[in-house]
Structure 1
Amino acid sequence: MASYRIRQYREQDYDAVRALFAAGILEHVPAAYRHFLRSARARLWLLLLLVAVRTVAGCWVLGLGAVALALVVTWFLVRSLATTYVSEALSTDLCDVSGSYLRAPDGCFWVAEAEGTVVGMVAVARPQDPADRGAALELKRMSVRKEFRGRGVSKALCGEVLRFAGARRYGAVVLSTSMVQVAAQRLYEGQGFRRVGATSHSLLGSLLCFQIFHYRCDLPGRAAAPPR
């Protein structure tokens, strides 16, 4: 088992961090697609499409062809949801990692390094939700390369964020993860996070039955808000 170490982000990590983030998000596209196809909404839509085309065209083959086309279109819509999210991240906070996290108040960015290669990453920042500002910090951009999963890298990165928030006397750490990232959900729940809500961040996400789960970990013995 290869060893690794957690350290703060450096500018030479820029390309590796961006590539790791993009790969980590895009690998969940098949799971999101399967989730939608298993939903009652998808099955109803496909059935209605099949019946409608059969009724209008008078041919089951055309109906089946329409369903097949709908499945292909749905795949590209699901992938578009993921690629849009990646593009937004790469053009915003991950376009200037140091400025977004290392030079930001109460922000930081860590990488896990093994044999000179970045194999994991996580960030912490003030939360976007106004209700949490001043009381919590937000864990963001967690990702670990496939071949290094199951070796405690994610747990170690999560621990850095919890210690960082606790040292600054924040009362909680919040985060968001997608409904198909089951391994991530188990990790966070094992570290004391509890699910506090679920949302769809876009109309397309809502149509595709794709939700974002929100988690919170209250830090024991900490004040509700840090001193100002």
Structure 2
Amino acid sequence: MASFRIRQFQERDYKQVVDVFSRGMKEHIPTTFRHMLTLPRTLLPLAGVPLTVVLVSGSWLLAIVCIFFLLLFLWFLTGKPWKNYVSKCLHTDMADITRSYLSVRGSGFWVAESGGQVVGIVAAQPVKDPPLGRKQLQLFRLSVSSQHRGQGIAKALVRTVLQFARDQGCSDVVLQTGLLQKGAVTLYYSMGFQKTGESFMDTLMWLVDVSLIHFIYPLPSAQNHEL
């Protein structure tokens, strides 16, 4: 098993951080596409439109071409929300990581380094309007390069955020992750996170039926054990 270390983000990491994040998000496009093909709202036009073409034109070739372009459109539709999300992040908090995280009290951004390369990332910011009497930290941007998964890197990055939250005197760590991000969902459950609800990030995510799962990890002040 390859060794790695978790450390705070440095400016020289920026290009590698963006690469890990962008690739990680775009990996969800094929999974979302396959998910789309199982939905009634997708299967109906995929079957109905070509059949209508055959009945009207009598051409099976035209129907096959129609199916091809429908699938092409669905691939575009599936990829759009993920690409929009990456673009939004790279133009907001990840445009200047030092300013967004390291220069903000109670925030942080960490990388996992292996062999001199950034292979994983995670970030955290205080929740602006937490429930009354709670001090919450939100976990963001968790991603590990595909070649380095299965080594405990994601778990180590999450542990880093949890310890940071304890050090800040937070009562909870909260996060959101996509329903189809099976590895992440399994990880959070295995580490003791609790599901608090679901929502859709935007209309496009609703259209492709990919909801966000909301998680919370309570941090009792009296509890001071290692995960």
When the two structures are superposed, what TM-score results if normalisation uses the length of structure 1?
Answer: 0.90
Q: Report the equivalent of 2:39.
A: 39
Letter in structure 2 aligned against 1:25? M
Question: Kindly tell me: are residues 52 and 204 of structure 1, through their superposed partners in 2, closer, same or farther at Cα, counting changes over 3 Å?
Answer: farther
Map 1:43-62 to 2 at 5 A: 43-62=43-62
Ranges in structure 1 where 5+ consecutive residues have no aligned partner: 224-228
Q: Report the equivalent of 1:207.
A: 207
In the alignment, is the contact (CA less than 8 A) between 2:127 and 2:135 conserved in 1?
no
Whether 1:105 and 2:105 are equivalent positions in the alignment is: yes
Q: Distance in 1 between matches of 2:204 and 2:192?
A: 31
Q: How many residues align?
A: 222
Q: Distance in 2 between matches of 1:222 and 1:203?
A: 42
Matched position secondary structure for 2:37: helix
Map 1:1-228 to 2 at 5 A: 1-127=1-127, 130-131=129-130, 135-221=135-221
In the alignment, is the contact (CA less than 8 A) between 1:8 and 1:110 conserved in 2?
yes
Matched position secondary structure for 2:220: coil
Q: Tell me by how many angstroms 1:222 deviates.
A: 6.4
Q: Distance in 1 between matches of 2:194 and 2:65?
A: 44
Q: Tell me by how many angstroms 1:41 deviates.
A: 2.0
Q: Distance in 2 between matches of 1:11 and 1:3?
A: 23
Q: Tell me by how many angstroms 1:127 deviates.
A: 3.0
Q: Distance in 2 between matches of 1:132 and 1:97?
A: 27
Q: Distance in 2 between matches of 1:122 and 1:222?
A: 26
Q: Tell me by how many angstroms 1:83 deviates.
A: 1.2
Matched position secondary structure for 2:217: strand
Ranges in structure 2 where 5+ consecutive residues have no aligned partner: none
In the alignment, is the contact (CA less than 8 A) between 1:2 and 1:114 conserved in 2?
yes
Letter in structure 2 aligned against 1:168? Q
Q: Tell me by how many angstroms 1:68 deviates.
A: 1.9
Question: Kindly tell me: are residues 77 and 156 of structure 1, through their superposed partners in 2, closer, same or farther at Cα, counting changes over 3 Å?
Answer: same
In the alignment, is the contact (CA less than 8 A) between 2:28 and 2:181 conserved in 1?
yes
Q: Tell me by how many angstroms 1:209 deviates.
A: 1.4
Q: Tell me by how many angstroms 1:48 deviates.
A: 2.6
In the alignment, is the contact (CA less than 8 A) between 2:112 and 2:118 conserved in 1?
yes
In the alignment, is the contact (CA less than 8 A) between 1:50 and 1:67 conserved in 2?
yes
In the alignment, is the contact (CA less than 8 A) between 2:130 and 2:136 conserved in 1?
no
Q: Which moved more, 1:156-165 or 1:207-216?
A: 207-216
In the alignment, is the contact (CA less than 8 A) between 2:205 and 2:211 conserved in 1?
yes
Question: Kindly tell me: are residues 103 and 175 of structure 1, through their superposed partners in 2, closer, same or farther at Cα, counting changes over 3 Å?
Answer: same
Letter in structure 2 aligned against 1:112? A
Q: Distance in 2 between matches of 1:199 and 1:27?
A: 21
Q: Distance in 2 between matches of 1:199 and 1:50?
A: 34
Q: Distance in 1 between matches of 2:122 and 2:131?
A: 19
Instruction: Output the aligned Cα RMSD.
Output: 1.9
Q: Distance in 2 between matches of 1:60 and 1:131?
A: 58
Q: Tell me by how many angstroms 1:122 deviates.
A: 0.4
Q: Distance in 2 between matches of 1:74 and 1:23?
A: 20
Question: Kindly tell me: are residues 135 and 219 of structure 1, through their superposed partners in 2, closer, same or farther at Cα, counting changes over 3 Å?
Answer: same
Q: Tell me by how many angstroms 1:132 deviates.
A: 5.1
Q: Tell me by how many angstroms 1:135 deviates.
A: 2.9
Deviations 1:52-82 (A, max 9, x none): 3334334344333222211111101212221
Q: Distance in 2 between matches of 1:74 and 1:154?
A: 31
Q: Distance in 2 between matches of 1:200 and 1:59?
A: 40
Q: Which moved more, 1:59-68 or 1:70-79?
A: 59-68
